Chain A
Amino acid sequence: MIAQNFDYTAPASLAEALSLLASGEAKPLAGGMSLIPMMKLRLAAPDQVVDLGRIPELNYIRHDGGRVRIGATATHHQVATSTTVRSQCPLLAATAAQIGDVQVRNMGTIGGSVAHADPAADYPAALLALGAEVTVANAGGSRTLSIEDFLVDTFTTALEPGEIITEISVPAGGGSGCHYQKMLQPASGFAIVGIAVQVTASGGVIASARVGVTGLTGKAFRAHGVEAALVGKSAAGIAEAVAGIADGVDANSDIHASAGYRCQMARVHAGRAVAAALAKA
């Protein structure tokens, strides 16, 4: 499978990259774990590719201003193994460690994954549960959006032509009461359903909960109703509290899982995810 040919540039600075992308014609390449397979299948056939993989200023993980700030080209392996991420937002590290396989985690990037907005991607569940912000830039400047506003629909984001993600940040001090639980499609590793949970608890009773869901619908979402239902519950009350996680959703259906099965698996795995998070809180 050979991609359609294209012009390739690999700028060394963000400014140069944004200038090359300004026309909106060129396609940014980060880790390439989604774009390159799509180019091989000719589902994507850009005439120009701008490789963001040689821009040092886009690759960082740091803790400042009360947030963990992750440069767009930080790989899943970097996120999964960063001591900063593991201590300040362990949910994100645990999620990154479950993406794809080791080869994919070595190449794939957080910015590339979030910009691709695959409905079965792992990161959005955790980013929603953590209250992430996405900073995007074009040649004219930059802006910061909430992850809710950034994710518009299946494979669709708030990125304008010529814009790329430069940074994703989450609040520091995420706490240990978290878990990412997914039912995966065994060949690809993508989530049939994936549930990211962050809770605080006192004496085994949930004081606050945030729940992000991926794979179930066309775009990842926060399960606000379940979050509210979990407050005040102990382990025994979890199953009842998460029972409504798929209520009213337009569930995905494909050869791997029908809509009804996905909804049931969302309830099962949400229960397991909350129980595991509560046990660590």
Chain B
Amino acid sequence: MKITVTLNGKTRTSDVEPRLLLIHYLREEAGLTGPHIGCETSLCGACTVEVDGKAVKSCAMFAVQADGRNVLTIEGLAANGTLHPVQEAFWNEHALQCGFCTPGMIMASKQLLERNPNPTEDEIRHGIDGNLCRCTGYQHIVNAVKAAASKMGA
């Protein structure tokens, strides 16, 4: 069936099978390979994107459910070549090792800071507990979210 999605600000119309998962639509149909397929069981969060401003796991949603909606992936986060403060903080705080979880971590962290601009460490850990880092580099990720919070609040 035909779906029209506003993808990182650009409208895209595609003919898809209803069973096509949003993550497969993004990676294979739209060529956006930023969101990753980690576990395929909606546990790891590597496929996290925003749909109408809400962080979702794109492996647990069909592309047809995104018809008519705004989808934001990690590729759409930097504005005119300027990194989003969360991206910049992940860079500065060395919040990635292998980088596989990073796109999802950043999208989940962005959601957290939009809803709670000044989170405690516990709130940060609760806010990103849908995302797993296989390198177990959580401490630097938490540091990055704190750094992004203080930059965004400044």
- Which residues on A are within 8 Å of B, measured CB to CB? 1-8, 10, 29, 32-33, 36-37, 39-40, 49, 51, 53, 77, 100-104, 106-107, 187-189
How distant is A139 from chain B, measured CB to nearest CB, in Å? 23
B55 interface contact, C-beta 8 A: yes
Residues of B within 8 A of A101 (CB): 45, 129-131
B19 interface contact, C-beta 8 A: yes
B61 interface contact, C-beta 8 A: yes
Question: Which of A1, A36, A77 touches B62 (beta carbons < 8 Å)?
Answer: A36
Asked if residues B130 and A5 are in contact (CB atoms below 8 Å), the reply is no
How far apart are the CA atoms of A2 and B21 in the complex, in Å? 8
Residues of A within 8 A of B129 (CB): 101-102, 189
B65 interface contact, C-beta 8 A: yes
1-51 of chain B: CB within 8 A of chain A: 1, 17-19, 21, 40-43, 45, 48
Residues of A within 8 A of B128 (CB): 102
Question: Which of A2, A77, A102 touches B112 (beta carbons < 8 Å)?
Answer: A102
Contact count band on B: 20 to 34
Asked if residues A104 and B130 are in contact (CB atoms below 8 Å), the reply is yes
Residues of A within 8 A of B42 (CB): 33, 36-37, 103-104
Residues of A within 8 A of B55 (CB): 102-103, 106
Asked if residues A37 and B18 are in contact (CB atoms below 8 Å), the reply is no
Residues of B within 8 A of A53 (CB): 65
Question: Which of A5, A7, A106 touches B56 (beta carbons < 8 Å)?
Answer: A106
Asked if residues B17 and A103 are in contact (CB atoms below 8 Å), the reply is no
**Which residue of chain A has its CB nearest to the CB of B17?**
A5
Asked if residues B64 and A10 are in contact (CB atoms below 8 Å), the reply is yes
Asked if residues A107 and B130 are in contact (CB atoms below 8 Å), the reply is no
Asked if residues A32 and B60 are in contact (CB atoms below 8 Å), the reply is yes
How far apart are the CA atoms of A103 and B111 in the complex, in Å? 10
Knowing A7-B18, A100-B130, A102-B127, the reply to whether A107 touches B43 (Cβ < 8 A) is no
B108 interface contact, C-beta 8 A: yes
Asked if residues B61 and A5 are in contact (CB atoms below 8 Å), the reply is no
Knowing A32-B61, A49-B18, the reply to whether A103 touches B43 (Cβ < 8 A) is no
Residues of A within 8 A of B40 (CB): 1, 40
How far apart are the CA atoms of A4 and B20 in the complex, in Å? 10
Q: Which 6 pairs across A and B sit closest by C-beta, in order of nearness?
A: A101-B130, A8-B18, A106-B54, A3-B19, A103-B57, A103-B130
Question: Which of A4, A7, A107 touches B60 (beta carbons < 8 Å)?
Answer: A107
Asked if residues A187 and B56 are in contact (CB atoms below 8 Å), the reply is no
Asked if residues A103 and B108 are in contact (CB atoms below 8 Å), the reply is yes
Residues of B within 8 A of A188 (CB): 43
Asked if residues A36 and B60 are in contact (CB atoms below 8 Å), the reply is yes
Residues of B within 8 A of A7 (CB): 18
Given contacts A2-B19, A104-B57, 5 further A-B contacts (CB under 8 A): A32-B61, A32-B62, A102-B129, A187-B43, A189-B129
How far apart are the CA atoms of A37 and B21 in the complex, in Å? 11
Residues of B within 8 A of A1 (CB): 40
17 contacts between A and B (CB under 8 A): A5-B17, A8-B18, A10-B64, A10-B67, A36-B42, A36-B60, A37-B60, A39-B19, A40-B40, A40-B41, A49-B18, A102-B55, A102-B111, A102-B127, A103-B108, A106-B56, A187-B43
Residues of A within 8 A of B18 (CB): 5-8, 49
